Amino acid sequence: MSWQIDIYMTGGTRETVSKQIAAVIADVMENQLHLKRISAKPVTNAADTTIYRYTMIYSCSFDEEQRLIYS
């Protein structure tokens, strides 16, 4: 299983705010849900360069019998 999370921000503090949001997401995904982070980086938004985009990708395995998530 995998998840991709995209954070889009505009404005003068878009990079700082995006990274603050990403830190909160990382805490939940990694420390609480025990998912493995594959990637976390800014992505160029070619359609509109005024929008800052930060993409995070997580993966894990799921044991259906025991209903456990693990990485």
The per-residue pLDDT for range 39-66, each reduced to its tens digit, is: 999 999 888 989 999 999 999 888 888 8
For 60, the domain range is 2-70
C-alpha distances out from residue 51 to 25, 45, 46, Å = 20, 7, 9
- Name the domain count of the chain: 1
Residue 26 exposure: Cα atoms within 13 Å on the Cβ side:
14
pTM tops 0.85, yes or no: no
**CB–CB of 1/61 below 8 Å?**
yes
List the beta bridge partners of residue 69.
62
- Asked whether the predicted pLDDT for residue 68 surpasses 80, the reply is no
For the stretch 3-51, pLDDT in tens is: 999 999 999 999 999 999 999 999 999 999 889 999 999 999 888 989 9
Q: What is the pLDDT of residue 52?
A: 95
